[in-house]
Structure 1
Amino acid sequence: MSLLDDSPTAVTNVAEYTVSEISGALKRTVEERFEHVRVRGEISGYRGPHSSGHAYFCLKDDRARLEAVVWRTAFSKLAFKPQEGLEIVATGKLTTYPGSSKYQIVIEQMEPAGAGALMALLDERRRKLEAEGLFAAERKQVLPFLPRVIGVVTSPTGAVIRDIHHRIADRFPLHLLVWPVRVQGDTCGEEVAAAIAGFDAIEAGGTVPRPDLIIVARGGGSLEDLWGFNDEAVVRAASACSIPLISAVGHETDWTLLDHVADRRAPTPTGAAEMAVPVKADLAAALAALHARNAGAVSRRLEAERRTVAATARALPSADMLLALPRRRLDEAGGTIGRALQVAIARKKGDFAAVAGQLSPVRLEAFVSQRRADLRHAESHARHALTTGLQARRQRFERLAATLQPHMVRARSQEGRHRLDALAAGLDRTFTQSLERHRQALATATRMAASLDPTQVLQRGYAIIRGADDVPITRAGDLTPGLRFEVEFADRERRQAVSLGEAADSETAVPAQKPVRATRRPVRAVSNDQGSLF
């Protein structure tokens, strides 16, 4: 029998499966054989979560490659987010993806592969945040000297909050606000970041007092226990907080990223309480010492000023010594003033008597007589001088008249006549020129008047309508029905007329009147004789 059977149907006992049946059988076998597994490998091909919220990448080592997926619900619960090249230990279920005939692990939990990997991740995250300037010293705020309200972010059931409360109560009792959070686990970072932002969002003056200082505290632990305080969300929330913040996470040797971004780092939660508030008793003692020093300084200053005033008072002269010299001068002046007054009165009386003797009537009459004689002498002297001067002027005139001979008079008359003739000729020429100019101006005015004469316009077929008192009518609206007016033509004839209005129908027509006899008014002729201007 030939191996190549040309018959349409070959006989076989092998079971026949569809592709879906094979894929489903493989899927069940893998999921039943491997339920929860822990796989160690390096993350490869990670590009962040998909738009749906799921994350897809691969786990690989030096010889194999395994597809991995983290669903959206599990991705939000991861202690840290996947990063390219990070070696992790993933816990999840193996399954297959029938659409591409691949097997994959559905990751439910994920942790770095040992402390070395955690430190590498922590160092990489620290360098990234430091490059953004979140750890810069100029961003850090000054802690308040004496806060009134302190907000504490920690677990409400641990020993940390009790240590902080007791330490603050011993040093300086004040108001504490506690925001309870988990200080370890997957949700630690998210809750701490929300607590810091919540304290910062409290409005001043509300029902809940706004803290003046925030303390984020936790006890000591391993790197994995403190990992929540290395979360990037916690660091960014602390950087954006406007309230000064103290980081008190772990012990002296424990460091987290929150310590770098906080305004102050405390080695322990108890140390944070000591940084937050001063000792009330020390403040009271310091105030008392300052008060005592101030009182002593004031007393010493007053005593020194009192001694200075006393010394100055001893150096000053007494009032009697200051007034002795003025009093003596006053007494001397009082003794001499009476005698000086009597001497002055006597001298004034003598001066008055001398003046009164000069003012007797006899001396006045003699003085008036002397002035009258002087006046008469001056009058006679002036009259003699006037007569003498007039006679001298008359003699001088007679000498000048004698020197004027008849031929000299005739020569001067001839010269005057020539000058008079020349002036007469010039006057005639000026008169003729002025007359010509006036004639030309008159002719110009006559032509202008002729051009403005309304009769010249009437010659072209126009007429002038005049109303009462010969007032010209220039608008049709002024012709009211029944108005009498005159029409003047080019030949100076005037005819009377009556206005009929716009609609001269049978109802509104003006009754017929007797024809008015045209009266020709004499027109004043314009004379061309303008008369003489001179």
Structure 2
Amino acid sequence: MALPFDDDNYADERKTPLVAKAMPGDNAEPLSVSAISALLKRTVEDRFGFVRVRGELSGVKRAASGHLYCCLKDDKAVIDGVMWKGGAQRLAFRPEDGVEVVATGKLTTYPGRSKYQIVIESMEIAGEGALLALLEKLRARLAAEGLFASERKRLLPFLPRTIGVVTSPTGAVIRDILHRLADRFPSRVLVWPVLVQGEGAAGQIAAAVRGFSAMPPGGAVPRPDLVIVARGGGSIEDLWAFNEEIVVRAVAECTIPVISAVGHETDTTLCDYAADQRAPTPTAAAEMAVPVRVELAANLAELALRKRRCALRPVTLGRERLEARARHLPRPEALLAAKAQKLDETGERLRRALRDRALGARARLDARGAQLSLPLLRHRLERAEERLARAGLTPALLQRRFEAACKHFAPVARVLPQLDPDKPLARGFARVTDADGHTLTRKAQAEREVSLVLKFRDGDLAVVPGAAPRRAPRSKGPSARQGDLF
């Protein structure tokens, strides 16, 4: 669609020169972009050569070169900031988004993008509230990683032989720890000297903890069984090195149980959360590390006494029970009195019975003796001869009957010697009988007997089942030994 042609506008445009020309009396020479940028840079740097800016960090980024880039903002404006590598390495805290800081430096411009920015020389957290906010943010992040979980806490050794202490070698803390250890239980102490506040303190503390953890067991320097990270009291700024992430991670990753004794009882650092045990003071850390030797000796003595009592108590109780039961036992004289009385009565009855029996036998003998006259005996003999004669028993008849019986029993007589149970004894066998002479053929029968008799070819031998056989003395000639039959 074509636009309408305006003659007036066309005339005005024709008045503007097409090519730039110097006008008479004009002293404003045109400047190049670089020149105007340089003028702006000098003006800004001269006017704002030293400024302190308070704002909230945003877009914090650390380049591979070590330089730190960020933005400082409030609710109405934003200014870019850069901190060169040397200044970034000297920071006492780790810059993060959302932290309110006070940055000190100078304003300058960046001609390449027509922007102004602040070159930060130092950076501090804006007040204790902002510092606590940063601390809480770091604590939440590390807790989310599980560094403060209770499952990671380890039990302290009951009696460590070597204790490693990470602290300042010149402060009162190490003297308090050594004095307390000497009072309770003298132990070997290895001190790793470090700075406990200021620039570089966090790196030294982390290096010391990792150094103790990396010591090999059985080396020239004994590896600690326990590590104490200690420092005296102070403000939150003084204790900030123990809140640094590098220290917290070193304590959490240490392979040796760690006691954190930083500050006084009311002071709390992130190192306390990562350690296996927190002590309110360095002196309390020494008390946690070792027991009291005197108390241990007393406990050992008490346990030894209880052990002796426990060992002697069954003997004492057994003796008391035996004495109590012995008092209820009757005396041997009382046990034998009734039997002795019965024996006396039986003996008296036996004597009377023997006397009466002898008297009766004598009376019967006297009565029979009257019947044993010589004529009577002769008469009875004659009558017996007559009866024998009438029976017709001639010797020839008895002889034939005897020979017939011998022929009948001759086969039995030949077999009878083979059935004799004592005949195998001549070949080295033995026959086992009970006390009454009955032959035993089974082990179960022998086990029920109190005593056994072994019949050999040349005599009998009484044995007791289960008794160990007596060894016969060794002889120089060959001999046959027979062990226990059961």
| Range class of TM-score, shorter chain | 0.5 to 0.7
Q: Which residue of 2 aligns with 1:259?
A: 272
Could you tell me how far apart the structure 1 residues matched to 2:404 and 2:178 are?
132
1:271 and 2:271 equivalent? no
Q: Which residue of 1 aligns with 2:235?
A: 222
Q: Which residue of 1 aligns with 2:370?
A: none
Q: Which residue of 2 aligns with 1:243?
A: 256
Alignment of 1:9-28 (within 5 A): 9-10=21-22, 12-14=26-28, 17-28=31-42
Given candidates 147, 150, 166, the residue that maps to 2:160 is: 147
Q: 1:239 to 1:7 in 2, by over 3 A?
A: closer
Q: SS of 1:161's equivalent?
A: helix
Could you tell me how far apart the structure 2 residues matched to 1:77 and 1:213 are?
32
Q: Which residue of 2 aligns with 1:289?
A: 302
Cα drift, residue 195 of structure 1: 1.8
Could you tell me how far apart the structure 2 residues matched to 1:7 and 1:287 are?
109
Could you tell me how far apart the structure 2 residues matched to 1:371 and 1:297 are?
87
Could you tell me how far apart the structure 2 residues matched to 1:192 and 1:370 are?
127
Q: 1:317 to 1:62 in 2, by over 3 A?
A: same
Q: Which residue of 2 aligns with 1:40?
A: 54
Alignment of 1:331-370 (within 5 A): 363=398, 365-366=400-401
1:158 and 2:171 equivalent? yes
Given candidates 149, 165, 176, the residue that maps to 1:136 is: 149
Could you tell me how far apart the structure 2 residues matched to 1:25 and 1:176 are?
65
Amino acid at match of 2:34: S
Could you tell me how far apart the structure 2 residues matched to 1:304 and 1:370 are?
82
Q: Which residue of 2 aligns with 1:69?
A: 82
Q: 1:368 to 1:216 in 2, by over 3 A?
A: same
Alignment of 1:60-459 (within 5 A): 60-310=73-323, 315=329, 363=398, 365-366=400-401
Could you tell me how far apart the structure 1 residues matched to 2:212 and 2:312 are?
50
Cα drift, residue 152 of structure 1: 1.0
Cα drift, residue 262 of structure 1: 1.6
Cα drift, residue 183 of structure 1: 1.2
Cα drift, residue 132 of structure 1: 2.2
Superposed CA deviations along residues 419-438 of structure 1, whole A, max 9, x for unmatched, are xxxxxxxxxxxxxxxxxxxx
Cα drift, residue 74 of structure 1: 2.8
Deviates more, 1:202-211 or 1:87-96: 87-96
Deviates more, 1:134-143 or 1:68-77: 68-77
Q: 1:369 to 1:249 in 2, by over 3 A?
A: closer
Could you tell me how far apart the structure 2 residues matched to 1:209 and 1:370 are?
112
Q: 1:303 to 1:62 in 2, by over 3 A?
A: closer
Amino acid at match of 2:155: V
Q: 1:369 to 1:189 in 2, by over 3 A?
A: closer
Could you tell me how far apart the structure 2 residues matched to 1:165 and 1:150 are?
10
Q: SS of 2:62's equivalent?
A: coil
Cα drift, residue 87 of structure 1: 1.2
Cα drift, residue 233 of structure 1: 2.1
Superposed CA deviations along residues 41-100 of structure 1, whole A, max 9, x for unmatched, are 111233x32343323221122333221012233323322222222211112233222212
Could you tell me how far apart the structure 1 residues matched to 2:98 and 2:269 are?
23
Cα drift, residue 166 of structure 1: 0.8
RMSD: 3.4
Q: SS of 1:45's equivalent?
A: strand
Cα drift, residue 40 of structure 1: 0.7
Amino acid at match of 2:44: V
Could you tell me how far apart the structure 2 residues matched to 1:38 and 1:143 are?
49
> What TM-score do the two structures reach when normalised by structure 2?
0.61
Could you tell me how far apart the structure 2 residues matched to 1:34 and 1:136 are?
49
Superposed CA deviations along residues 440-487 of structure 1, whole A, max 9, x for unmatched, are xxxxxxxxxxxxxxxxxxxxxxxxxxxxxxxxxxxxxxxxxxxxxxxx
Q: Which residue of 2 aligns with 1:449?
A: none
- Aligned residue pair count: 336
Q: Which has the larger radius of gyration?
A: 1
1:57 and 2:70 equivalent? yes
Q: 1:272 to 1:27 in 2, by over 3 A?
A: same
Cα drift, residue 142 of structure 1: 0.9
Could you tell me how far apart the structure 1 residues matched to 2:405 and 2:225 are?
119
Cα drift, residue 297 of structure 1: 4.7
Q: 1:362 to 1:261 in 2, by over 3 A?
A: farther
Q: 1:277 to 1:36 in 2, by over 3 A?
A: farther
Cα drift, residue 369 of structure 1: 7.0
Could you tell me how far apart the structure 1 residues matched to 2:256 and 2:294 are?
27
Superposed CA deviations along residues 338-362 of structure 1, whole A, max 9, x for unmatched, are xxxxxxxxxxxxxxxxxxxxxx997
Could you tell me how far apart the structure 2 residues matched to 1:155 and 1:61 are?
41
Q: SS of 1:20's equivalent?
A: helix
Amino acid at match of 2:156: L
Could you tell me how far apart the structure 2 residues matched to 1:182 and 1:302 are?
65
Q: SS of 2:132's equivalent?
A: helix
Amino acid at match of 1:213: L
Amino acid at match of 1:10: A
Structure 2 unaligned segments of length 5 or more: list them.
Answer: 1-14, 348-394, 408-486
Cα drift, residue 23 of structure 1: 2.9
Could you tell me how far apart the structure 2 residues matched to 1:317 and 1:190 are?
91
Superposed CA deviations along residues 174-214 of structure 1, whole A, max 9, x for unmatched, are 01111222211232222222222221111111112111111
> What TM-score do the two structures reach when normalised by structure 1?
0.56
Q: SS of 1:116's equivalent?
A: helix
